[in-house]
Structure 1
Amino acid sequence: MSKIVFLDVDGTLIDYETKLPDSARKAVDQARAHGHKVYICTGCSKDEILQRNLCELDGMILGNGTYVEDHDHVIMHQAMPLEEVKKVVHWCQERNLAFYLETNSGVYCNDQMIKDGPAVMIKYGQGKGADLSNATEKAKSFIDSFTLIHGDEFYREDVNKIDFIIRDYQDHLDAITAFPHLAHNTWGGKGELALFSDLGPTGINKKHAIEVLLDYLKLGKEDTISFGDAKVDLSMFECCGFNVAMGNGGPEIKEAADYITDDVNDDGLYNAFKYLKLI
């Protein structure tokens, strides 16, 4: 029986330096050759994904569930309503927060992100195991990929989600209070350390997007397998038949998993695909 596999990207399919292990590419290629379908399910935008050298896939779920694509066919794109974008932008500006807008065409940031982003991303890289040199290089690449905008340029109708740097965890809690109807996540450092918070459209998460895709494919969840490394991936675990946590994952994702594989850079994906007889 063929399976449908959903892979988080950073820390699962690729490592935290955005490198795709050869064994992971081999695992995905062989699984698809054996008739299984493989989709990525990530918080990244399409612009970010297209900049990475990934393997061939059957489709993608992006923006933590705001965008669903099957073999280049767009099944769903639920952008944030313009009025919500304006409110979140104003809130971030009033608090002098560094923030950026994720869209499928690019990532757009404010001046504060240019100022604060490099140090935070170096902390992110080091927390995931990179040395200072590599973390600094990746932080520069990350910030350089953004487009700096101002004023009314932030008022876009194609925003998948808005990310901002957390100065302390209270910023995230305040965002939940200010926008209780939006979807909220944190991401960032080692384990579940929060460096960023993000806000997305109401009712949108990875679980919802998977359900939309399965409905389109007319398939059930009993043949689905998900792979993740962070708390944001827990919604995938809620709707898939079998769930795998990466060895480099945080404690919450490991506790919820049916199986824990090795680290992303220790052939974790390949070893799990073998364990599950996908290859």
Structure 2
Amino acid sequence: MSIQLVIFDVDGTLYDEKTHQVPSSAIAAIKAMKKKQVRFAIATGRAPYGLGKAIDSLHADYVIADSGGLVVDQTGTILWKQDIPYTDVCSLLTFAQEIEAGLVFKFPRHMYIYQNPEKIEWLLGQMNSDIGREPFIFHPEQDRHFLELPQCASLHGDAKQILAFAKNSPLSFQQFSDTGFDVAPAGVDKGKAVTRLLQLLQIEPADCACFGDSYNDRSMMEACGRRIAMGNAAASIKAIADHVTSDVDKDGILNGLRYLQIL
């Protein structure tokens, strides 16, 4: 088996959320991997314009963004995208209003914060990070979807209410925290986008490895032939991994790539 592509989740995998940086050992390991002609991709719930300087400086060959709703190459060219249908955007907005949830829609160039920004747990951290404030637009008018459609949403509220709504919704809901959910078009998740990227690159799943740590990484890991869970990963992710490496801040990426015999 020859690994041709390695895909990394961002938060908790490449990016240490405690220190707000990519560990130096991970930076060096990825540079060494790329010198060996192994391609490098990122799969994240973030938008491609919301990765921040630390992640951007790694120069990923491909970015699977918006929880699988968007795939771009290193130049930002869109290779594939799937919009949330207009009727589903309206249904999600109505529900968010009813339960007073925090709601962000991610469009091709900016994130629009529709309501209750104080409930969006990652918002201030990202705005005050190296991402900066430019990608974030506060939009209480709640009408941007009349002009263009989003590829993903971030919904923050009572988990029981959201899960009950999700059962009867055509949208795909991926929980990433106690109150936070990534929402994507029906049938779209990181795993589907990985499969689409592999098809475009003509790479077999057996020749692709991935690193992940959270619930929303499950579909990505199931789409790849080799699965590495971070030491700080959720138990459910460790359970489906081929190997559990060390924590993100304890050379997890470096040790995982050594296990794969890429370095």
TM-score by length of 2: 0.89
Residue 7 of structure 1: aligned partner: 8
Deviation at 1:234, TM superposition (A): 0.8
Please show how residues 106-121 of structure 1 align to structure 2 within 5 Å: 106-113=110-117, 115-117=118-120, 120-121=121-122
Judge conservation of contact 1:46–1:103 (CA < 8 Å) in 2: no
C-alpha contact (below 8 Å) 1:66/1:160 kept by paired residues: yes
The counterpart of 1:27, out of the listed 26, 29, 46, is: 29
| Distance across 1 between alignment mates of 2:204 and 2:11 | 26
Q: Offset at 1:175?
A: 2.4
Deviations 1:154-189 (A, max 9, x none): 42533121112123x21221221341x21111112x
Aligned counterpart, 1:257: 241
| Paired position in structure 1 for 2:156 | 165
Within 2, Cα distance between the matches of 1:110 and 1:71? 29
Structure 2 residue aligned with 1:81, among 73, 78, 85?
Answer: 85
For structure 1, list consecutive stretches of 5 or more residues without a partner in the other structure: 123-136, 189-193
Q: Determine the C-alpha separation between the residues in 1 that align with 2:12 and 2:122.
A: 15
Report what 1:40 is aligned to: 42
Distance 2:226 2:65 in 1: 21
Q: Structure 1 residues 158, 19: CA separation in 2 closer, same or farther (over 3 Å shift)?
A: farther
Deviations 1:205-258 (A, max 9, x none): 111111111111112111110110011111112121110000011100001100
Asked whether the 8 Å contact 2:99–2:157 carries over to 1, the reply is no
Q: Distance in 2 between matches of 1:199 and 1:219?
A: 28
Question: In 2 relative to 1, CA 8–121 (structure 1 residues): closer, same or farther, beyond 3 Å?
Answer: closer
- Corresponding residue for 2:125? 138
Q: Is residue 187 of structure 1 aligned with residue 176 of structure 2?
A: yes
CA distance in 2, matches of 1:95, 1:14: 32
| 2: CA distance, partners of 1:174 / 1:185 | 13
For the pair 1:147 / 2:147, whether they are aligned, the reply is no
Q: Percent same amino acid among aligned pairs?
A: 25
Report the equivalent of 2:187.
Answer: 203
**Structure holding more helix per residue:** 1
Structure 1 residue 53: Cα displacement? 4.0
Structure 2 counterpart of 1:164, one-letter code = L
Query: Is the contact between residue 3 and residue 209 of structure 2 (CA under 8 Å) also seen in structure 1?
Result: no
Paired residues of 1:66 and 1:201 also in contact (CA < 8 A): yes
Contact 1:37 1:58 in 2 (8 A): yes
Q: Which residue of 2 aligns with 1:63?
A: 66
Cα gap change, 1:163 to 1:266, in 2 (>3 Å)? same
Task: Tell me the SS of whatever aligns to 2:176.
Answer: strand
Shift of 1:94: 2.0
> Contact conserved, 1:29 with 1:56, CA < 8 A, in 2?
no
Residue 195 of structure 1, CA deviation: 2.3
Alpha-carbon deviation of 1:140? 6.4
SS at match of 1:247: coil
Query: Does structure 1 retain, via aligned residues, the 8 Å contact 2:105–2:114?
Result: no
Q: Is the 8 A contact 1:89 1:154 kept in 2?
A: no
CA-to-aligned-CA distance 1:100-127 (integer Å, 9 cap, x gap): 11223121113422x334xx459xxxxx
Inter-partner Cα distance in structure 1 for 2:224 and 2:23? 25
Residues 88 and 51 of structure 1, relative CA distance in 2, 3 Å threshold? farther
